[in-house]
A and B are shown apart, each in its own frame.
Chain A
Amino acid sequence: MKEYIFRRLVLLVPTVLGVTIIVFLMMHFIPGDPVALLLGDYYTEATAAAIRAQYGLDKPLHIQYFLWLKRLFVGDWGNSIIANRPIFEDLMRRLPITFELIILSMAFALLIAIPAGVIAALRPYSWRDYGAMTTALIGVSVPEFFMGILLILFFSLLWGILPAVGYVPLTESLWGNLQHMILPAVTLGLARAALLTRLVRASMMEVIRLDYITTARAKGVREWAVVLKHALKNALIPTVTVLGLQVGFLIGGAIIVETVFSVPGVGSFGISAISLRDYPQVQAFVLLFALGFVLINLIVDVLYAFLDPRIKYDQQAA
């Protein structure tokens, strides 16, 4: 297993490099001249040339890339054109908020999906099963922004029990923080919950047919232990494999959900940067989310190595 983890870590390097190359190139493909944008009304050929020399824009592309990469490493992720502030600080301030949103959404999704999927699988083709599957199907078909709007409509505007927008830091008030995060987290998590329910149900139904389950039952193991300890543990393995992909959807969805609920995270940061054409900010935003995704996939892959006994046995046999 150590070999698998090592190989996986080694694969990390070209992936990260590839991501940085794409993000770097992305900036260069944006239409318009960044120097003209920067100087605005003060644009003259001389000043433009001076700015280009100062930012190293007159050097060949690969040199620019390495200089940019070097700056990233020391924490210089550029300055916002609009606010004229280092971007890194703003990003780091907003990152925990987005992180909290993603964690809460995932927790909510798993909390709903695993019980629902198990219950549906244990009584297939019953009304419980059809109910769960229909709800799940609708959940996958709703766009996240619409779901968010519907939740705001009912819980904020109609019944007034939860706030629609805004954010309260955890350090200020736990309850305030949760109050503002519930609707965004539920919105983001519902689509994932829907998909995961279908997955858990499908793999649970497969696992429960297998011989070792019948053996366990024959040995007199109590039903709940059969279901939870033996069946569920193995049924969850396919769920873990798609977990990384699901987090990718969570990251993408966080962009929309933060916009709808005005959560001051990295996602809304990126969207406002795009609308303000603050391209250094856009670049930093894309880079952060992409790198985060790569990291999460790595963690999930390593986690999967611990869970899948086949990988363990491969190593032992070798």
Chain B
Amino acid sequence: MSSEAMGMTPATALRDMAYEETTARSMWLITLQRLRRSKTAMVGLAIVVLLLLVAALASLIAPYSPTQTGPVSISPPTWDNLMGTDLLGRDVFSRVIHGSRVSVYVGVVSIIASLLIGIPLGTVAGFYGGRIDNLIMRLMDVMLAFPIFLLAIVLMVILEPSTMNVVLALAIVRIPILARIVRGSVLSVKENEYIEAVKALSLSQVRTLGRHVLPNCLAPIIVTSTLNIGNAIILEASLSFLGLGTQPPTPTWGWDLKQNLTLIEINPWITIFPGLAILVTVLAFNLLGDGLRDALDPRLKA
């Protein structure tokens, strides 16, 4: 199946590439338009934006310092303490607000870190194939032989529990699946004729990868990454709940929930509010991710 036989000449390949460039720019506009049509996705987006603002402006919004102990302990919600106080008299509302910083930080940074390593890994494996592909995928398979949460726990046992190490562990845990997805996309795109045409034009391989292979893999990556942020937040909360994550006194939703759990018969509210915070946050990212998935779905392109 030579390029000439398919009717491809350098001229037509160049023309196709130019067409791709112009349509690629409007792809983002179309996606945005379709996203706006989904009300649930917009709600998710709004909550995510709100969350980012809260995390960024936590010190300004929170009425008290999250680590400042107070005279009234284990109080139910009052006008002074909107979510009550914990065992040490700290304002739970302020702790929940400041807790968002850890969640957002861990969620976003761990996903970005996993992308920075996973995308190149998957691309190299898919594009070059052969022994490199084999080697990389074997390594990924061995990591995938562990349940994700178990692997995260193991990593936190090896690394001392801290927020940065949670980011590292959650990034590592994400890489195998991400590399697989990217490799799959690269493989399916590799077969396309216009890649053959580009190769026939002897463009450098990196340019080929960057300009033509990657943008087509972008859609599934964007969707899974958004959903993964919510997942990462749950994992961070779970690790903190077990004491393997962010250490006290830094406010984090997972550990706060655990701390206040022993007082649940006296005051269930201080356990419920951190949990609700996690729920609403993850829900928002899931709504947004679902909306993005529908907006980017090529099958729905009219």
Distance in Å from the Cβ of B56 to the closest Cβ of chain A? 23
Q: How far is the CA of A144 from the CA of B231 in the complex (A)?
A: 12
Which one of B63-71, B77-85, B241-249 contacts A? Answer: B241-249
Distance in Å from the Cβ of A21 to the closest Cβ of chain B? 8
- Size bracket, chain B contacts: 35 or more
Specify which of A26, A253, A271 is in contact with B242 (CB 8 Å cutoff): A271
Q: Can you name the residue of chain B whose Cβ is closest to the Cβ of A282? A: B157
- Counting CB contacts under 8 A, is B28 at the interface? no
Which of B145, B230, B254 has its CB near the most chain A CB atoms (within 10 A)? B145
Establish whether residues A19 and B264, one from each chain, have CB atoms under 8 Å apart when the complex forms. Answer: no
Specify which of A18, A137, A146, A248 is in contact with B257 (CB 8 Å cutoff): A146
- Counting CB contacts under 8 A, is B45 at the interface? no
Q: A30-B158, A144-B238 are in contact. Are A274 and B147 (CB under 8 A)?
A: no
Q: How far is the CA of A152 from the CA of B254 in the complex (A)?
A: 17
Specify which of A150, A259, A270, A286 is in contact with B275 (CB 8 Å cutoff): A150
- Contacting residues, chain A, for B158 (C-beta < 8 A): 26, 29-31
Residues of B within 8 A of A (CB): 138, 141-142, 145-150, 153-154, 157-158, 160, 230, 234, 237-238, 241-244, 254, 257-258, 261, 264-265, 268, 271-272, 275, 278-279, 282-283, 286-287, 290
Q: Can you list 7 A-B contacts (CB < 8 A)?
A: A26-B157, A143-B254, A143-B282, A144-B238, A146-B257, A256-B241, A289-B150
- Contacting residues, chain A, for B237 (C-beta < 8 A): 143, 145
- Counting CB contacts under 8 A, is A216 at the interface? no
Establish whether residues A259 and B278, one from each chain, have CB atoms under 8 Å apart when the complex forms. Answer: no
Q: Can you name the residue of chain A whose Cβ is closest to the Cβ of B244? A: A274
Establish whether residues B243 and A137, one from each chain, have CB atoms under 8 Å apart when the complex forms. Answer: no
Residues of A within 8 A of B (CB): 14-15, 18-19, 22, 26, 29-31, 137-138, 140-146, 149-150, 152-153, 157, 248-249, 251-253, 255-256, 259, 270-271, 274-275, 282, 286, 289-290, 293-294, 297
Q: Can you name the residue of chain B whose Cβ is closest to the Cβ of A247? A: B147
Establish whether residues B286 and A141, one from each chain, have CB atoms under 8 Å apart when the complex forms. Answer: yes
Establish whether residues A141 and B282, one from each chain, have CB atoms under 8 Å apart when the complex forms. Answer: yes
Specify which of B141, B146, B278, B290 is in contact with A146 (CB 8 Å cutoff): B278
Establish whether residues A259 and B148, one from each chain, have CB atoms under 8 Å apart when the complex forms. Answer: no
Q: A143-B238, A145-B241, A275-B243 are in contact. Are A286 and B154 (CB under 8 A)?
A: yes
Q: How far is the CA of A157 from the CA of B265 in the complex (A)?
A: 7
- Contacting residues, chain B, for A270 (C-beta < 8 A): 153
Q: How far is the CA of A22 from the CA of B141 in the complex (A)?
A: 12
Establish whether residues A286 and B150, one from each chain, have CB atoms under 8 Å apart when the complex forms. Answer: yes
Establish whether residues A252 and B145, one from each chain, have CB atoms under 8 Å apart when the complex forms. Answer: no
Distance in Å from the Cβ of B137 to the closest Cβ of chain A? 12
Q: How far is the CA of A256 from the CA of B261 in the complex (A)?
A: 14
Q: How far is the CA of A294 from the CA of B143 in the complex (A)?
A: 11
Establish whether residues A293 and B145, one from each chain, have CB atoms under 8 Å apart when the complex forms. Answer: yes
Establish whether residues A255 and B145, one from each chain, have CB atoms under 8 Å apart when the complex forms. Answer: no
- Contacting residues, chain B, for A18 (C-beta < 8 A): 138, 141-142, 145
- Contacting residues, chain A, for B261 (C-beta < 8 A): 149
Q: Can you name the residue of chain B whose Cβ is closest to the Cβ of A198? A: B290
Establish whether residues B275 and A153, one from each chain, have CB atoms under 8 Å apart when the complex forms. Answer: no
Establish whether residues A157 and B145, one from each chain, have CB atoms under 8 Å apart when the complex forms. Answer: no
Distance in Å from the Cβ of A201 to the closest Cβ of chain B? 13
Establish whether residues A252 and B147, one from each chain, have CB atoms under 8 Å apart when the complex forms. Answer: yes
Distance in Å from the Cβ of A102 to the closest Cβ of chain B? 11
Specify which of B142, B244, B278 is in contact with A22 (CB 8 Å cutoff): B142
- Contacting residues, chain A, for B257 (C-beta < 8 A): 145-146, 149
Q: Can you name the residue of chain B whose Cβ is closest to the Cβ of A18? A: B142
Distance in Å from the Cβ of A2 to the closest Cβ of chain B? 23
- Contacting residues, chain A, for B279 (C-beta < 8 A): 138, 141-143, 146
